[in-house]
């Protein structure tokens, strides 16, 4: 009787263990869907100063990698060629964590392969540094069957009273950087806007001390995207 009881208990334990393994395998998420895009278009750069601004226009591509997990876009990577120079890669992870969304090693490998395929040389890409205070970083990615929209806002530095848009003593952060992306999923049209507002000291001739002034730089990219498979090199 004891042998039979022990045998039954062992079989039950084996069944439970087997069920646990099956459940673990069943609950593992599917691999993400990764899409590489090459976008050709035009950059418009507006550099602000205290009393005026300068504008510059030039052509160049932007390379995108979109990471879709179970129908939701969780990460977007963007890298641009500006005047023939490859600028550091930007990584936008849903929720605000830079590089935090792709914690799975296999997923990270897939994304890396896609980025290398789009860029044709992954050794020259650079990842952005982690912000000092992650609470100051906000990333939103929304998508429909028609489009994909992304907004990132990163604030850093202390709060300062400065002249903002001609108004004196406005409370603002020392640096406010935003990135916005709109991608039409039907025709591939894309618009990206990078904006940087940074407080600088400005001393008027004859003044006793320098005043704080917020300066604004804005870069806009408009173009059209194609999947890597459709791009001819």
Render pLDDT for 185-205 as a digit per residue (tens, 0 to 9). Answer: 999 999 999 999 999 998 878
pLDDT at 40: 97
Task: Please identify which residue in the block is written with the tokens 């691999």.
Answer: 31
Structure tokens at 124: 């020259």
62 exposed, middle or buried (CB, 10 Å; 0-12, 13-18, 19+)?
buried
Break the chain into its structural domains and give their ranges: 1-30, 31-230
pLDDT at 74: 94
Render pLDDT for 48-65 as a digit per residue (tens, 0 to 9). Answer: 888 888 999 999 999 999
Beta bridge partners of 216: 197
Is the pLDDT reported for residue 167 higher than 70? yes
Task: Please identify which residue in the block is written with the tokens 């003593």.
Answer: 169
pLDDT at 71: 86
| 187 phi/psi in degrees, rounded to 5 | -110, -5
Render pLDDT for 106-149 as a digit per residue (tens, 0 to 9). Answer: 344 444 455 544 444 443 334 344 444 545 899 999 999 999 99
- % of residues, the chain, pLDDT over 90: 55
Q: What's the mean pLDDT in 4-12? A: 45
- The answer for 196, left when phi > 0, alpha when psi is -120 to 50, beta otherwise, is beta
pTM (2 decimals)? 0.73
**Cβ atoms within 10 Å, residue 153:** 16
Q: What's the mean pLDDT in 84-91? A: 92
């Amino acid at each position: 009787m004891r042998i039979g009881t022990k045998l039954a208990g062992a079989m039950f334990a084996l069944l439970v263990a087997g069920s646990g393994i099956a459940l673990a395998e069943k609950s593992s998420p599917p691999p993400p869907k990764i899409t590489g895009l090459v976008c050709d278009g035009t950059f418009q750069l507006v550099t602000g100063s205290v009393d005026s601004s300068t504008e510059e226009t030039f052509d160049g591509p932007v390379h995108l990698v979109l990471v879709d997990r179970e129908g939701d876009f969780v990460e977007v990577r963007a890298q641009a060629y500006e005047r023939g120079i490859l600028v550091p890669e930007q990584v936008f992870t849903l929720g605000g964590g830079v590089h935090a969304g792709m914690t799975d090693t296999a997923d990270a490998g897939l994304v890396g392969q896609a980025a290398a395929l789009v860029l044709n040389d992954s050794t020259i890409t650079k990842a952005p540094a982690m912000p000092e205070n992650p609470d100051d970083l906000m990333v939103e990615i929304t998508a429909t069957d028609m489009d994909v929209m992304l907004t990132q806002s990163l604030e850093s530095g202390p709060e300062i009273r400065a002249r903002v848009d001609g108004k004196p003593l406005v409370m603002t952060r020392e640096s406010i950087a935003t990135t916005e992306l709109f991608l039409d999923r039907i025709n591939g049209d894309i618009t990206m806007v990078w904006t940087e507002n940074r407080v600088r000291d400005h001393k008027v001739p004859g003044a006793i001390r320098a005043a704080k002034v917020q300066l604004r730089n804005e870069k806009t990219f408009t173009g059209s995207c194609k999947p890597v498979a459709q791009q001819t090199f």
